[in-house]
Each structure stands twice: as C-alpha cells, then as structure tokens.
Amino acid sequence: MTALVTPPLADAVRDETSLRRFLAGLPGVDQVGAEGRAAGLFTRSIKKDAKLWALDTAISMIDLTTLEGADTPGKIRSLCAKGLRPDPADPSCPPVAAICVYPDLVAECREHLGGGTVKIASVATAFPSGRASMSTKLADVGEAVAAGADEIDMVIDRGAFLSGRYLQTYEEIVAIKEASGAAHLKVILETGELSTLDNVRRASWLALLAGADFIKTSTGKVQPAATPPVAVVMLEAVRDFALSTGQHRGVKLAGGIRAAKDAIRYLVLVKEIAGDEWLTADLFRFGASGLLNDLLMQRTTQQTGVYSGPDYFTVD
C-alpha cells in the first residue's frame, strides 16, 4: 500500500503551484515492484466453482463498445440487442454494464435500450485526440447528454499534462464534469502516452481531485493501452483516494483485453488491491468490443462441459 495522502485535499487545487507541489509529493512508483506485484497476482489460480461467478461478473462490467467511422444505426441496434441479452439462448446470462458509442449515435441507443439497467456511455471532448477548443469539447458533451447519455467518457489533454500545465488539465475536467450534469464522468488518461507509472499516478489523482467518477486507461486507439502494472497504479489511486476522502471512484480498463482468462486475472487485481467493494459495475468496468464473445464461450463451456466455438455467438 502506498502512503496515504494527507488532507486537506482542497488546498491541493488552490492554484498551479499548490497542485504541482501536491502531485510532485505523491509517493513514487517502484516500476519493478508494480510489475512484479501484477505478475504475481496474474498467476493466481481461480477455483473452478468461482469461475462461473467471475465470468458473469466480468460480463456485467463490460462497456460494449463500437467507435468506428463506419458505425451505422443498424449496427447500434444489433449492439444494443446483444448488450441486453448477450446469450439469447440463456436468460440467466447478465446484461452488460453499458453500450459505448459516439455522441451522434446516443439517441439511437436510447431508442433501443429504453430506460433499463444497461447504461449509455458516450465518448466526447474530441475523442480520441482531445485536440479541440474548450467550446467544441463542451458542445460535444452537451450533445451527448441532451441525447440521453448516462455516462461521458472524456479524454484529457495529454499535451497540457505532459507540459506540466496541471491546473489547465484540472480545470478542463472540472468544466466537463459540470457540463455532464447527472451523467457520470469517466476520465481517459491515455496511459500509453504518459510514459511513466509516476505520471499515471499523478494523472489519476489529478482526475480524482477534479471530480472524475471513473478513471480510465485508454481510448483503445493508442498502444500500450491497459496493462497490469498500470491497473495496479490506478487501483491504488482509487483505493487511497477513498481512504483519504471516504469517496469511492471507479476504474475502467480499456484497450487490448480480449481473453476471458485475462479479464478474470484483472478481477483478482481489483480484489487484492482495491478490495471487494470494487467488484461491481458501479466501480469497475472493462471497455471492450472483443472480450464479450470469449467470456460467453468460456461461460458456455463451464456450464455444459462442451467447448462452443466463436461461430456460436454473433460477431460485433
């Protein structure tokens, strides 16, 4: 466990100097230690009777995503149907957590999902680059919220952050949070561009201080995306933030997670680092388009003892 951050945290964001001092004062990340801890937890075996629970839990944590230029209303309709009933032959299979789309397709999602338990997440703020004026980013968020988005996924200005303009990055997140209204805000750090785990820790804390409901690894457009050491650092951040403030914020891992066995390994990291409280879709998500089918195949195998091939489920 990292050393707890000493309150009051409100002083940390008083001005640029205070924020810089606060972020520089966070405990440094032992990269070798983080990699070793992640590797150790990744090798932990799961008992057979817990695997079905883990597969269902992972399915319920998925933000089923399509972020392609060729997206169509028809594809969104199919994705919504799959999110609601991932395995049409088995009503006991849980729905996913959310459908994640571009802002102009939120209304299409709302029409097909209605007001059920599956949320609508929308990437905004000039996703995936984040290169746009603040007025454009706010308009992007406003469009998604007005169309019915429950959750906004914003990407930070990595140029500002890496240049040390921390207060600018903080204030941008605060403004987007305000524009999101009742919608939950997920703040994408794009960890593959942050270079070091120390930067991942600083960006995580900066986003949490600014009001992020979730911190998220990646847009999925940059590699490396989600990695076990990055997950360790981000889970430590939300855990320590909760210990310091009593406020529970979530983590979303996105980009490159395609195998059920890896999703289960990440659940082990969540349990061992953040704790059992985070083993819920309210506090942990997978951002994935390719992961769901492997989870469904492994689930069917666990239930029937017979391996079902990839053709058994629809391709997203």
Q: What is the pLDDT of residues 198-226, one digit of tens each?
A: 999 999 999 999 999 999 999 988 888 89
CA distances from 223 to 30, 191, 217, 219, 266 (A): 22, 9, 11, 9, 18
The catalytically annotated residue of 63, 216, 240, 262 is 216
Task: Express each pLDDT in 160-174 by its tens digit.
Answer: 999 999 999 999 999
Distance, CA of 108 to CA of 134 (rounded, Å) = 26
Supply the pLDDT for residue 311: 57
Query: Is residue 48 flagged as an active site residue?
Result: no
Whether 100 and 191 have beta carbons less than 8 Å apart is answered as: no
Distance, CA of 237 to CA of 200 (rounded, Å) = 9
Query: Model's pTM, two decimal places?
Result: 0.93
Q: Which two tokens stand for residue 291?
A: 């992961």
Distance, CA of 65 to CA of 52 (rounded, Å) = 23
Q: Which DSSP category does 313 fall into?
A: S
Supply the pLDDT for residue 30: 92
Query: Is residue 153 flagged as an active site residue?
Result: yes
Cα Rg of the chain, angstroms: 19
Residue 310, class by beta-carbon neighbours within 10 Å (0-12 exposed, 13-18 middle, 19+ buried)? exposed
**pLDDT classification of 310: cutoffs 50, 70, 90:** low
Would the pLDDT of 3 be above 50? no
Where is average pLDDT lowest: 106-110, 147-151, 310-314? 310-314
Would the pLDDT of 64 be above 50? yes
Distance, CA of 286 to CA of 226 (rounded, Å) = 10
The catalytically annotated residue of 137, 177, 186, 252 is 252
Which one has a higher pLDDT value, 256 or 150?
150
Closest to 220 in 3D by CA, of 268, 173, 186, 196: 186
Supply the pLDDT for residue 10: 78
Contacts for 208 with CB less than 8 Å, ≥ 6 apart: 215, 237, 238, 241, 249
CA atoms in the 13 A half-sphere facing the CB of 207: 32
Q: What is the mean pLDDT of the chain?
A: 92
The catalytically annotated residue of 63, 140, 150, 153 is 153
Supply the pLDDT for residue 207: 98
CA distances from 184 to 5, 119, 125 (A): 25, 10, 14
Query: Is residue 216 flagged as an active site residue?
Result: yes
Spacing of C-alpha 133 from chain mean position? 24
| Stretch (H or E) spanning 98 | strand 98-101
Contacts for 120 with CB less than 8 Å, ≥ 6 apart: 98, 99, 101, 106, 109, 110, 113, 148, 149, 150, 151
Size of the chain, expressed as the number of residues it contains: 316
